[in-house]
Amino acid sequence: MNEKSNRNVLEVRDLCVSFFTDTGTVKAVDRLSFDLPEGGTLGIVGESGSGKSVTSLAIMGLLKGTSGRITNGSICLDGRNLVPLSEEEKRKIRGRDISMIFQEPTTTLDPTMPVGIQIGEAIRLHSRLSKADARKAVLELLTSMGFSQPGQLYSAYPFQLSGGQCQRIMIAMAMSGHPRMLIADEPTTALDVTIQAQILDFMRKLKKESGTSILLITHNLGVVAEMCDQVLVMYCSRPMETGMVKDIFAHPMHPYTRGLLASIPQPGVSENTLYCIPGNVPDPGKTLPGCKFAPRCSEAMDICRQEEPPAFLYDNGHKSCCWKCSAQYGGNAHE
Amino acid sequence: MEGMLMSEALLKTVNLQKTYSRKQGWFDKPRIIKALTGVDLSILPGETFGVVGESGCGKSTLGMTIAKLIEPDAGEIYFNGRNITKLSEKEMHGLRKSMQVVFQDPFASLNPRMSIHDILAEPLIIQKMTGSRAETDSRVSELLQQVGLDMYCAHRYPHEFSGGQRQRIGIARALAVNPSLIIADEPVSALDVSIQAQILNLLCSLRQKFSLTYIFISHDLSVVEYISDRIGVMYLGNFVEISDKNDLFRHPLHPYTQALLSAIPVPDPAADRKKRIILSGNTGDIVKNETGCRFYPRCFKRMPVCAEVPPGLIPVSPCHCVSCHLYD
Amino acid sequence: MSFWRAFKKQKLAVIAGIVLLLLIVIAVFCTKIAPYGINEYDYSSCLQAPSAAHLFGTDEFGRDLFSRVLCGTRISLLIGFASVTLAALLGCAIGLFSGYAGGRTDTVIMTACDVLYAFPGLVLAIAIAAVLGPGLINVVIAVTVFRIPVFARLVRGNTLKLKNAVYVTAERNLGASKSRILFRHILPGVLPNIIVQYSLSVSSSILTSASLSFLGMGAVDPTPEWGLILNGARTYVFTNLYYALFPGLAIFITVLCFNLLGDGLRSALDPRLTAQEGSIS
């Protein structure tokens, strides 16, 4: 991981995704820009309604079939813009250049097929192996993933396996095409803490061996601190703060980030009352002018309620979309 | 703690057992799942007892069984000194006022077709707490205000509220009958982080205001640690360690507790991660012959005796017991 | 209410609903609207083609077909609503009880319903009508019996699902009695599905009763039941097509409208339910 190149595997600029429903248009992602460097791990953190999952679907081109559309912006994979591609071209990229794993591993696997056959299918989609060779490749893959009985696992059905095993198989399937990047959408949220530790360990080992870049989407700041080099905090479709994990956790600038970090109970730290961000996540359909976080922000100024802040750039790639931060720390407007 | 007189404990369970058998087709033997394997528990009035464990440990079953929503297969439950295990629904009716449950899923725990007013009036009507319509209305407003909601919410429907607000309504419903014990079954697990903190603070302030006793069930050790006085760690149907909160974190004794604590992802990139214990196997791996300690297959400190003899709950200090042969 | 908005979008269903309202108005006022009596013989104008005097023509006894078909509306709708309402009430009661009781009781009751359900509807109706004899009331009974299992199964399935809903457990926790839970919490949850099934069943019921009458096992002359009129028209189908055409059209339109309405209700109810009980994050 020390040989990080300066190249970016993924460059997203001004991404806007909207959902066109009968009750109106809802902006799920609003002017999102970020880079995923080669071999790096970027965590996108947000609560419900932040737009983090929609972002991953947009990158994979999986919005077709929903009422969501990319209305603006570009998503460049190794310099190639994915947005204007046809469905056929997007399909070629999925699984081979970009792979994705989802939250509920037991339901994302086909319940009617043994898992070995499913992994084999995934392999054969992106290589020209025969069925017999694919079976061998699957067994090799399972052994290299640390499964002790690959033969037994090959013919097992998803319902016979635990959540942790299914997730490891999903990750194996996702990595089988040796993709440039892996998108992991809340991969451990549905799993127990001890299994989560197993999976995160597994993902770290894989990453070290294959050098795949990872885009990790989660609401768990602890997972981000463990797995990621960089983090992007989203709130209500907007990016709030982004930067290196060390910087963000040590010196969070944005009031939302600071509020989030303060409201997580930490074992061994005794406090009388937990800090909590007042109010609720606003209705995505009802947009007010100004900064999206202003209604709940204890440090909101007048300008926050009138005009949306652009991203201000600070040291080391640390960006914060906040007027108060800019007033306090300076920073150059970056949008 | 274990030597407490029965009359001092608000709630006590003795050897509580619950087994589920699931049929697996016509010809296979039914699959037996031992959700509770002889749970002994004593809760003092005014304390908050946290029950923590992963999926399959039986913590939700324990909560539902104590609340008499699930009938135990064996064992006894004592509430305020009275044996309530074999009471019929009719006999339990009055007692329900004293024991209430707050459920996990804020979206499923409220009837989508009833207004908030009707949902909160239900306990008042069922338990005959109010006489007139006016009395009911004013009590509903009072309950809404106690949980931090506007009294105008009463005329709206659950789908108009967010998860955190619905959970507040669920808590208001539990409070309506003036209980002394509240069993909170994963009350914040389905909520966003920023809302979790709000609800935890609400539970803390209500506890103080109404002198409530809580049984707080969760899989999130950090949350349980924040709100509890004592914590019990469950694994596969029983407690493996029960301790005062501070002692549990400073000196976790049971290997499972140690692994659990080390597995929590800490939101601090500078934290020392070398001590992470990764357990092999899966939650739910049971010894084939069912004797001995249930944690044996995954235990990194196991000894030969662990496979043969199940350990009992051994008091290591006045406020700390552990179920492990390492401390025999 | 968002249900109405969703329903208004089902254009076909709205049109069907309006036509059905019209039919109900006709059914209520048919004796006032009809130009002739339903049993007004007029041997001087037998089997006449549609004209200004007789909009739908006349039958072999000179009776005005327009009046007869118009008055048949009342009979068909009455039979439809009466039989399905009875079937719905009985079926719901059985389903609620069976679903909530569970266990062996449930198995026994459902097996009985399955046996009844296994008979092809019309065959069962014929068998019952054969036992009871001709006449409209017996038609109603026959159609009711064959519809009960449909409602019972539907309600029982929904009850099973809702019985384990978290909010029902919450009610048990509060000390609610079984009957309170069934009628205040489970039944309202089942009601939307019952309404959809009701509409679809009315169409089926009207069709069955017309079939029974067509076969001579239902209404008796001079009752202007559409199926019975069709029975009379059989002999003249190649020479006087209009005789069979209008009662046939009446059956077709009524049945189609109830089906479209039922489909529209189902579509309108489903997204509303998922919007209420789910969440977008």
Contacts of A246 (CB under 8 A, 6+ apart): B269, B270
Interface test mutation site (partner C, options B105, B111, B166, B182, max chain C beta carbons within 10 A): B111
Residue A163 pLDDT level (bands cut at 50, 70, 90)? confident
Strands (E), A38-142: 41-45, 68-77, 80-81, 98-101
Is B101 an 8 Å CB contact of chain C? yes
Predicted confidence pLDDT, tens digits, chain B (328 residues): 444 444 588 999 999 999 888 776 667 777 778 889 889 999 999 999 999 998 888 899 999 999 999 999 999 999 998 999 988 888 889 899 999 999 998 889 999 889 999 999 999 999 998 889 999 999 999 999 999 998 888 999 898 888 899 999 999 999 999 999 999 999 998 888 888 999 999 999 999 999 999 999 998 888 998 999 999 999 988 999 999 988 888 889 999 999 988 888 888 887 776 667 777 766 655 545 577 888 888 888 888 888 888 888 888 888 899 999 888 7
Query: DSSP letter at C183?
Result: I
Interface subset of A 183-212, CB within 8 angstroms of B? 192-198, 200-201
Contact A34, A54 (CB under 8 A): no
Alpha-carbon dihedral sign for residues A62, A167, B53, B253: negative
Per-residue pLDDT at B289: 54
Cα separation of A156 and A154, whole Å? Answer: 6
* C280 contact residues in A (CB cutoff 8 A): 284
Chain C residues whose beta carbon lies within 8 Å of the beta carbon of residue A48:
279, 281
* Chain A partners within 8 Å of B204 (Cβ): 273
pLDDT of residue B3: 47
pLDDT at C272: 55
Model confidence pLDDT, tens digit, residues C199-225: 989 998 999 888 888 888 888 878 888
**Angstrom distance (rounded) from CA A125 to CA B124:** 61
| A298 CB within 8 Å of a chain C CB | no
Query: In terms of DSSP bridges, do strands B82-83 and B74-79 run parallel, antiparallel, or are they unpaired?
Result: antiparallel
- A117 Cβ contact partners less than 8 Å away, ≥ 6 residues apart: none
Tell whether A86 is within 8 A of chain C (Cβ).
no
Asked whether the beta carbons of residue C169 and residue B69 sit closer than 8 angstroms, the reply is yes
**Mutation site, A22, A26, A217, interface C, largest C CB count within 10 A:** A22
DSSP A94: B
Is B94 strand, coil or helix? helix
Q: Which residues in chain C are closer than 8 Å to A53, comparing Cβ atoms? A: 281
Question: In chain C, which residue's Cα lies nearest the Cα of A47?
Answer: C281
> Which of the 8 DSSP states describes residue B296?
G
Confirm or reject contact between B107 and chain C (CB < 8 A).
yes
Cα–Cα distance between B62 and C155 in angstroms, integer? 32
Contact B260 A266 (CB under 8 A): no
Sheet arrangement for strand B74-79: B31-43, B11-22, B74-79, B82-83
Residues of chain B neighbouring A199 (CB-CB closer than 8 A): none
Alpha-carbon gap: C20 to the closest alpha carbon of chain A (Å): 28
Amino acid at residue number A73: G
Summarize pLDDT for A103-132 with one digit per residue, the tens. 888 778 888 889 888 888 888 877 788 888
CB-based contact A49 C279, cutoff 8 Å: no
- Minimum Cα–Cα distance from A53: chain C residue: C281
Contacting residues of B for A250, CB less than 8 Å apart: 269-270
What is the structure's pLDDT at C276?
43
Of the candidates A47, A222, A273, which has its C-beta nearest B267's C-beta?
A222
3-state helix, strand, coil in chain C (%, to 5): 80, 0, 20
Neighbours of C143 (CB within 10 A): 30
ipTM of the complex: 0.85
Asked if C281 is an interface residue toward chain A (Cβ–Cβ < 8 A), one would say yes
Nearest-Cα residue of chain B relative to residue A267: B222
Of A164, A104, A155, the C-alpha closest to B282 is A164
Is a pLDDT exceeding 90 seen at residue C152? yes
Cβ contact B112–C170 (<8 Å): no
Q: CB B143: neighbour CB atoms within 10 A?
A: 25
Among A7, A78, A42, A67, smallest CA distance to A234 is for: A42
Q: Which residue has the higher pLDDT, B75 or C50?
A: B75
Q: Can you tell me which residue has the tokens 């009207």?
A: C206
Residues 6+ apart with CB under 8 A from A68: A17, A18, A19, A20, A28, A54, A57, A58
Cα–chain-centroid distance for residue B308? 30
* Residue given tokens 């009610």 in the structure block: C171
User: Cβ contacts (< 8 Å) between A274 and chain B: which residues?
Assistant: 197, 200-201, 226
Using an 8 Å Cβ cutoff, are B77 and B99 in contact?
A: no
pLDDT at B1: 44
Residue of B195, B204, B282 lying closest to A164 (CB–CB): B282
Q: What is the DSSP letter of B148?
A: T
A246 in B contact zone (CB under 8 Å): yes
Q: Do B111 and C167 touch (CB under 8 A)?
A: yes
Share of chain A above pLDDT 70, in %: 96
For residue B306, the SS3 value is helix
Give the model's pLDDT for residue B24. Answer: 67
Is residue A152 predicted with pLDDT exceeding 50? yes
The whole model's pTM is what? 0.84
Give the pLDDT of residue A4.
47
Whole-angstrom distance, CA of residue C279 vs CA of residue B107: 8
Q: Which residue of C has its CA nearest to A48?
A: C281
pLDDT at A196 over 90: no
Structure tokens at C266: 């189902």
> Residues C62-100: pLDDT tens digits?
888 888 899 999 988 998 999 999 999 999 999 999 998
Nearest to C167 among B96, B108, B123 (CB): B108
Looking at the partner chain, which of B201, B260, B268 has a beta carbon nearest the beta carbon of A276?
A: B201
φ and ψ at residue C137, rounded to 5 degrees = -65, -40
pLDDT of residue C281: 30
Task: Give the tens place of pLDDT for each residue, A66-78.
Answer: 888 899 999 999 8
Minimal C-alpha gap between A127 and chain B (Å): 33
CB proximity A72 to B under 8 Å = no
Asked whether the beta carbons of residue A266 and residue B222 sit closer than 8 angstroms, the reply is yes
User: Which DSSP symbol is given to C64?
Assistant: B
Length of chain C: 281
